[in-house]
Structure 1
């Protein structure tokens, strides 16, 4: 029995004893005639019905911060639906991506709570969650879910996992993009037996055959080779395919492992021997342009490039480009991106903010945008006939998302500096050829290790 209950029972016993004593010591009762007739007790007031969850926060105003892109526009175009359903007013601010990140980071770190909901890229989740900037969402998902907006069982697991840190949920996935292989069907038919390459060995063999048969006009494969930080995504995904992550569980780089060296030897050989001229200066945009212009036959990159591939205004071969799973060695190659909606831990309207997050990421809300975007985060849409018919590459995107792994990406605050080091090394390797791989990987590994040691990772 707890102390509070014991005290209450003790007090009740004392009052009963006092009543008995007073009754025994009182004057004898006198007959005062018949007792008055009992009057009927007034009826208890009817209990007011509980306000439905969807209307519980009507009249509140929340502020959201997002960045300028098609999924944002498509969602906010339907904002009145949310306000009509909930009675919650929404004020929003849209900025360029880099400015949004700067502004949300400032709002978090200063604890001003200006924004209730913000777009958070998956690689910032560990940093922001560890700092206490983001509201944990597990209890909201368990206890405050509007049934028609509850898509928790429907989210692609890799996209949902990208919003977690140390087991806790800190966002719901708003946008997801994964890697697929783009290829010219006519050249695959002519030089590679009609089947797109499924393995890394197949990719090398096919790229060699196309390059040697292309007479210097078309090359087998193109990818990122510039020193730009964004180059990081593709070669790091190649290393993942060979069975190791860029950083181990203790944050040590793994660039000198046999697997990483083999992966980069393969990547560099592809681009050095079978890629177009100037590969060492190509970023993602230039690599995409190479396949659009017919200079390259194959290219692995994110699935949001699909509409360009079949657009006659962008592509010289819109009827000849098709889509396949990314090639694999021990695992499939990766290039993963997810952005979620998170609640500011300093928000004064967390429940209302949660309803917005749930609505904006709900399958029902996303389904209304099928004609406008391809980066949906729920399996029910990605697995639908309508999606496969509407979205270029739609027949393989769900399959690619199901093997995607956000952990291939080193989601740490020092990522920018780390990617600068590695991307510069990649560019030098692609320029110099596969013979340079081992030395460059050793040097990059040492530089990244030193960088992370200075940041305190090994203390």
Structure 2
């Protein structure tokens, strides 16, 4: 998330019916008629597995993320390994979802490899992606180093699967996670005074609560001359607001749907009734409204990028934000920033996971799918992930367990670090534990539900509706969306 372009409200994607019509028509033709404008992948059946498709050009469509920036800056290792060229198209997320939907529905097969956001791409268009187990089990193709089991399980399930079929539709590629980012230098300078005034140790820890966070923010507002406000938030009327609020909602034992862990981790087409009318959800909204009242007022104009910039400029003392901002933080505020798991509510701590996988389009020829597998395999390999960590233009965080045991990666968890995102390792590993993982619902119609949530929260901030009223209104809108279903 840290390097992503800010997106506007998610737009309704191509209907599932239109997608399936296009996919079915393409599939019945064997080799897609729409691919006639693109040459098929070259094949030398006698070549070594990595060289078998040399001479092919692949198209990869991605959101502008840290690992894609790193890979785009140095594709030479992949081209030398395979003889394959890769064209990379980067877009903001809602535009990417539209492009992919149109490509699938038309059967053109323009994109071989797709950055498959779990909510706007993978859930609605799962039928249009190849089951990657086919390639992993093909003796003529290179296997994943470490296999599927080397990916962090929560990442593989959330970013790579949809439903209970067991299919693996994407390989975990990035893993932005929301953590507590704070000015460690100011907490050190004022720690004793805050403790005396507030009656608790303000140092961020696993014991910190959201009520304590609120109290710390108020204290900074009145006592610290180095910053204007204690806290800031990504509370613009935008997807960012849903992300920021969800951390609090879950910590209060609120949920969007029943069995939220399963719906978030594996996904479903029928999530049931929305649960935002519950007492727990309303309590979470009441606290969130109260928290925003002591936050920097500009929070209501910020998405994650605006919040990150405000923190780096020294305007605020702390904020919840995506962990991959560490690389930029360490440039602007070297040695002054700390990272911790988000505070606890009455039920638990919860940190939003925002990871995405890369997938192979099923709307391209069989040869192209196999060539695309080579790129997906290489792009998520441990060696590539270590390289991305150290990239001057990238900095993505590993999705493979083995990378966290590499000696120079372990060393980078402490300053001075040549891989600054690893300074967040302790915080994100805590957030990825099952008890702390924050997963929004992986349902095909999530884009519209997301809009309902942040729209009603914005009305709450404006005083048009109470926190309880905002939750009830959002739930009513979500129930209408899910009752209609995805097939328009």
Q: Smaller-chain TM-score range?
A: 0.7 to 0.9
Q: Is the alpha carbon distance of 1:319 and 1:407 closer, same or farther for their aligned partners in structure 2, counting shifts above 3 Å?
A: closer
CA displacement, residues 367-407 of structure 1 (integer Å, 9 cap, x when unaligned) = 12222213332233345324423215334254145237877
* Cα distance between partner residues in 2 of 1:319 and 1:105: 44
The SS at the match of 2:235 is coil
Native 8 Å contact 1:211 1:218 kept in 2: yes
* Cα distance between partner residues in 1 of 2:75 and 2:400: 20
Native 8 Å contact 1:379 1:398 kept in 2: no
Q: Is the alpha carbon distance of 1:395 and 1:120 closer, same or farther for their aligned partners in structure 2, counting shifts above 3 Å?
A: closer
Structure 1 gap ranges (5+): 1-48
CA displacement, residues 89-138 of structure 1 (integer Å, 9 cap, x when unaligned) = 23424132344332222111122223222221122212111xx2101112
Q: Which has the larger radius of gyration?
A: 1
* Cα distance between partner residues in 2 of 1:148 and 1:281: 43
Partner in structure 1 of residue 481 of structure 2: 451
The SS at the match of 1:301 is strand
Partner in structure 1 of residue 135 of structure 2: 140
* Cα distance between partner residues in 2 of 1:154 and 1:292: 34
* Cα distance between partner residues in 2 of 1:70 and 1:408: 21
Native 8 Å contact 1:279 1:431 kept in 2: no
* Residue 229 (structure 1) shift: 3.3
Native 8 Å contact 1:246 1:408 kept in 2: no
The SS at the match of 1:223 is coil
Counterpart among 248, 252, 268 of residue 238 in structure 1: 248
* Cα distance between partner residues in 2 of 1:178 and 1:253: 24
* Residue 171 (structure 1) shift: 0.7
Q: Is residue 159 of structure 1 aligned with residue 188 of structure 2? A: no
Q: Is the alpha carbon distance of 1:406 and 1:140 closer, same or farther for their aligned partners in structure 2, counting shifts above 3 Å?
A: farther
* Residue 147 (structure 1) shift: 5.1
Native 8 Å contact 1:178 1:397 kept in 2: no
Alignment of 1:98-109 (within 5 A): 98-109=94-105
* Cα distance between partner residues in 2 of 1:113 and 1:319: 47
Partner in structure 2 of residue 391 of structure 1: 420
* Residue 50 (structure 1) shift: 7.7
CA displacement, residues 2-60 of structure 1 (integer Å, 9 cap, x when unaligned) = xxxxxxxxxxxxxxxxxxxxxxxxxxxxxxxxxxxxxxxxxxxxxxx986433444455
* Residue 164 (structure 1) shift: 0.5
Q: Is residue 323 of structure 1 aligned with residue 342 of structure 2? A: no
Partner in structure 2 of residue 334 of structure 1: 351
Alignment of 1:88-237 (within 5 A): 89-97=84-92, 98-123=94-119, 124-129=121-126, 132-144=127-139, 146=142, 149-161=145-157, 162-166=159-163, 167-189=166-188, 190=190, 191-192=194-195, 193=201, 195-197=203-205, 198-214=208-224, 218-237=228-247
Partner in structure 1 of residue 29 of structure 2: none
Partner in structure 2 of residue 347 of structure 1: 364
* Cα distance between partner residues in 1 of 2:337 and 2:372: 42
Q: Is the alpha carbon distance of 1:195 and 1:217 closer, same or farther for their aligned partners in structure 2, counting shifts above 3 Å?
A: closer
Native 8 Å contact 1:151 1:378 kept in 2: no
* Residue 202 (structure 1) shift: 3.0
Normalized against structure 1, the TM-score is what? Answer: 0.77
* Cα distance between partner residues in 2 of 1:275 and 1:261: 20
Normalized against structure 2, the TM-score is what? Answer: 0.73
Q: Is residue 264 of structure 1 aligned with residue 285 of structure 2? A: yes
* Cα distance between partner residues in 2 of 1:127 and 1:406: 23
Partner in structure 1 of residue 325 of structure 2: 305
* Cα distance between partner residues in 2 of 1:60 and 1:185: 50
Native 8 Å contact 2:252 2:348 kept in 1: yes
* Residue 294 (structure 1) shift: 3.3
RMSD of the alignment, in Å? 3.0
Q: Is residue 427 of structure 1 aligned with residue 424 of structure 2? A: no
* Cα distance between partner residues in 1 of 2:284 and 2:213: 13
* Cα distance between partner residues in 2 of 1:280 and 1:77: 35
The SS at the match of 2:331 is coil
* Cα distance between partner residues in 1 of 2:452 and 2:57: 44
Native 8 Å contact 2:247 2:438 kept in 1: no
**Worse-matched range after superposition: 380-389 or 416-425:** 380-389
The SS at the match of 2:355 is strand
Q: Is the alpha carbon distance of 1:289 and 1:72 closer, same or farther for their aligned partners in structure 2, counting shifts above 3 Å?
A: closer
Partner in structure 1 of residue 266 of structure 2: none
* Cα distance between partner residues in 1 of 2:443 and 2:142: 34
Counterpart among 418, 425, 437 of residue 449 in structure 2: 418
* Cα distance between partner residues in 2 of 1:86 and 1:213: 59
Q: Is the alpha carbon distance of 1:60 and 1:456 closer, same or farther for their aligned partners in structure 2, counting shifts above 3 Å?
A: closer
Q: Is residue 292 of structure 1 aligned with residue 312 of structure 2? A: yes
* Residue 303 (structure 1) shift: 0.8
* Cα distance between partner residues in 2 of 1:82 and 1:170: 22
Native 8 Å contact 1:425 1:444 kept in 2: yes
Structure 2 gap ranges (5+): 1-44, 196-200, 260-270
Counterpart among 441, 446, 452 of residue 471 in structure 2: 441
Q: Is the alpha carbon distance of 1:282 and 1:63 closer, same or farther for their aligned partners in structure 2, counting shifts above 3 Å?
A: closer
Native 8 Å contact 2:233 2:319 kept in 1: yes
Alignment of 1:22-37 (within 5 A): none
**Worse-matched range after superposition: 348-357 or 50-59:** 50-59
Partner in structure 2 of residue 377 of structure 1: 399
